[in-house]
A and B are shown apart, each in its own frame.
Chain A
Amino acid sequence: MPVTSTTRLAVSEAFSRREAAGGRLAEESERIAQACRDMAARFQRGGKLIVFGNGGAGTDASHVAVEFMHPVIVGKRALPAMALGNDAATVTGVGTREGFDEIFAYQVRHWADPADMALGISPDGSCTNVLRGLEAAHELGLFTMGLVGADGGAIARSPAVGHVLIAGSSDPAVVKEIHVTVYHVLWELVHVFFAQSGPVSPSREAVR
């Protein structure tokens, strides 16, 4: 099928718009490593990772949870993680009674232990319910991290958010693409620090 030249041009433009933003990720490497060291320590203490976001970012939250729970690399141990967007009954239930701004905070308050980690994903950094979730987590003593884009929004400015990673683009689709790389690197480095921080007793290893 012959394709019109404007369509072909649109494809090229779409790809070229992604180059600069993707390269900027390298500048975040130190911040990413710091966060991963803290997270590995939390996992060592028995903490679990709680992830949440809206819309497309909600699917990222699910992706992060499955990444940790079911590692793609053979031999990597499963680390506890859960995504708060998956339970439609609770999400719509809390949304109806307490309000949509509370859907993540509510679940954090009823599921989190102080050793846990909360990761909120928001392409523009201004999702109120994600911020509320991170604030609730901070109040309980959790590690808190915001994965955001654009100028980082209210989430990047919040004192309740201990770690902020900003994808350097204002296009939410490009932000998401960078986020996917960030959480893949995050998972990998958490395992690096986790393995390194041993020693894990053989008996504990054997029961897994």
Chain B
Amino acid sequence: MDDEASSGGIHRLYPFLYADRAAQSTHPDLARDEGGTGHGHQGPTAARHVNRSTEAKAAEIVRLREQVAELHADRLAQCAEAMAARFAAGGRLFTFGNGGSSTDAQEVATAYLHPLYGRPLPALSLTSDIALVTALSNDVGFDVVFARQIAALGRPGDIAVGLSTSGGSSNLVQAFEEAWGRGMLTVGLAGYQGGRLAELEELDVLDYLFVVPSSSVHRIQEAQTTIYHVLWEVTQHVLGAVPAGG
């Protein structure tokens, strides 16, 4: 857990807001601010601090992307070539993740299946069929929601891409084990230190694991978005696609 992960997190992250508030000792309704140009009960100093915190986050994600490029560029190139080889031989892509990462899994699938340019490639997000997800969760357990689908749909030569910020999701671990057992290419995205997915990489259950070296869930997700976009782009490059207008 990062240090934001406590109920006092906002106070610690934005102490200037509370200093301001104490100094003014009044609590006008923030609602009156809407449509106006003022800063409500928040003084100009606090407003500057809020802006600066946004600027700091923008700088933080730019730095983190650079770090990810340094750490993973070689492996990303290898992974894109491996994925392109699988697609060229008729392989399909299955993607999965929980919560915010499930929306990333859907984005990855649609990026391959309905691309901006280049070759449409068969891809399916295992989070989209709510009948299946609820049936498996209700009847068997949430840990198997992705593994069962991989078991039914996966073939040797296919690709499994799973996204997690913590790297600790049991249903991802089970899905990767199932995919590995079927001879699929296995690709994981994680944050922090990689969690249980890092163990899977050591056991060679994961062919590729890209860990974003951060403890902020938000920054991890943002850097992961870049990673899967780069993977998609370079996979298309290996398959001979050229960007529109490029």
Contacts and interface: CB of A to CB of B under 8 A. Distances in A.
Interface stretch (B102-110, B142-150, B195-203): B102-110
Contacts of B217: 72
A32 to B, nearest CB: 6
A3 B74 contact: yes
Interface stretch (A92-100, A103-111, A125-133, A179-187): A179-187
B57 A185 contact: yes
Given A66-B99, A176-B229, A1 B78 contact: yes
Interface residues of B, number: 71
A75 interface: yes
A26 B55 contact: yes
A181 B237 contact: no
A10 B13 CA distance: 38
- Prevailing SS type, chain B contact patch: helix
A26 B237 CA distance: 31
Nearest to B109: A59
A12 B69 contact: yes
Contacts of B13: 188, 192
Contacts of A42: 34
Contacts of B116: 172-173
Contact of A19 (B41, B66, B81): B66
Contacts of A197: 27, 29-31, 40
A189 B54 contact: yes
Nearest to A65: B103
A189 B9 CA distance: 12
Contacts of A56: 107, 110-111
Given A7-B81, A196-B17, 12 more contacts: A3-B81, A19-B66, A33-B50, A59-B110, A62-B106, A63-B103, A73-B5, A174-B229, A177-B226, A177-B229, A195-B10, A197-B29
The 7 closest A-B pairs by CB, nearest first: A75-B7, A197-B30, A29-B54, A184-B218, A15-B69, A29-B51, A26-B55
